[in-house]
Amino acid sequence: MGLSIGLVGLPNVGKSTTFNALTKAQNAEAANYPFCTIEPNKAIVPVPDKRLGELAKIVNPQKIQYSTLDFVDIAGLVKGASKGEGLGNKFLSTIRETEVILQIVRCFDDENIIHNEGSIDPLRDVEIIEGELILADIEVLSNRIDRLKKQAKADKKAQASLDMANDLIEYLADGNLARNYPQANSDEYAQLNNEVRFLTDKEIMYGANTDEDGLLEDNEYVIKLKAHADANNCELIKLCAKVEEELIGLEDDEAQEFLTELGVEESGLEQIIHKGFKKLGLMSYFTAGVQEVRAWTIKQNSTAPRAAAAIHNDFEKGFIRAEVIAYNDYIECGGENKAKEAGKMRLEGKEYIVQDGDIMHFRFNV
């Protein structure tokens, strides 16, 4: 769907280890599903969904096809990135093309792993990265203000945009993220953001990279990072990058047993993938047949014709109606035929809003 999550972080915080674990997760599925790495810094990762396994038990398909999510390993960041220091220009241009930022933050002590800043301080690390993003936003907004000043001389509407831009640049200069701007829901801001594409307007998730002990109980670093995430209405996911690498390659039962021993229900990578999927406003519906059981990725609140386009554009153009069975009904009835007999299959038209987990079959004519 062209939507992606960008991994950012300072050196030696676990960003590369996390991305490598995601890449291995993608490669681990390669024998069964057609996932591939488009570029060395991009991984297309399957979205774990136990519902597909339950459908497969009933249908016994030749293969299972999961929804996927794109992760991009953003070029390294150093202070001064907004001014082009290090790989700053590449960092900023790449992150601008992503929809969600996953910021990996180190939250553990280890004298054998040197921190780039000389000590462990998650809030300082966050401030460095977000400070560079803010400076980059200020630069592009300054250029926009120069143009608005010229337009405002002849266009009163441009004056309103100029007033907001001047107010916003002061807000950013105080160290605030554009996504928290009090007028961020206004039409003027939306138009300005469409033109400028603020880096600090993007959704942010924090990946608190801990040691194994930190998975069981929040340490002081995680507690501080959680408070910051809550204050900025951001998601925080706790993970141990080292453990995530160890989990890759284990059978599902072995991996679950390992996690249980650590006192966690779901791996950090699975949390990242699931929460990232939701942050992008995505959901899945299913098709179930003997050739394959498949999850199709669509935007939340999609109509049936729009959902059909995920399979093929002709399905949307020639849409007649959709045969729909809710997931729970499909499982409880034991398949499509019994669901039909029980009156659980519905015929839905063009206005139907697809629900997460719907099992669907489209009728169309082109």
Question: How confident is the model over 328-360, as pLDDT tens digits?
Answer: 999 999 999 999 999 999 999 999 999 999 999
Q: What is the pTM of this model?
A: 0.83
Q: Which long-range contacts (CB under 8 A, 24 or more apart) does 232-236 make?
A: 232/177, 232/179, 232/180, 232/204, 233/180, 234/203, 234/204, 234/205, 234/206, 235/204, 235/205, 235/206, 235/275, 235/279, 236/205, 236/206, 236/208
Q: Which amino acid is at 64?
A: I
Would you list the DSSP string of 250-270? Answer: S-HHHHHHHHHHHT-SS-HHH
What is the percent of the chain with per-residue pLDDT over 70, rounded to a whole number?
Answer: 89
Q: What is the DSSP string of 231-253?
A: HTT-EEEEE-HHHHHHHTTS-HH
What tens digit of pLDDT does each residue of 260-297 get? 888 888 889 899 999 999 999 999 999 999 999 999 99
pLDDT reported for residue 40: 45
Q: How far apart (Å, rounded) are the C-alpha atoms in residues 236 and 259?
A: 19
Unique residue bearing structure tokens 């791996």: 267
Show Cβ contacts of residue 148 under 8 Å, excluding neighbours closer than 6 positions. 158, 161, 162, 165
Distance between CA atoms of 181 and 171, rounded to whole angstroms? 7
Q: What is the mean pLDDT of the chain?
A: 87
Which is nearest to 21 in space by CA: 71, 68, 67?
A: 71
At 216, the amino acid letter reads L
pLDDT tens, residue by residue, 86-114: 444 566 778 888 899 999 999 998 877 76
Residue 242: pLDDT band with limits 50, 70, 90: confident
The domains of the chain, with CATH numbers, are 4-48+68-118+202-279 (3.40.50.300), 132-200 (1.10.150.300), 301-364 (3.10.20.30)
Helix residue spans in the chain (DSSP H): 15-28, 50-59, 88-96, 122-152, 156-173, 187-196, 212-216, 220-231, 241-247, 252-262, 268-279, 304-308, 313-317, 327-333, 336-341
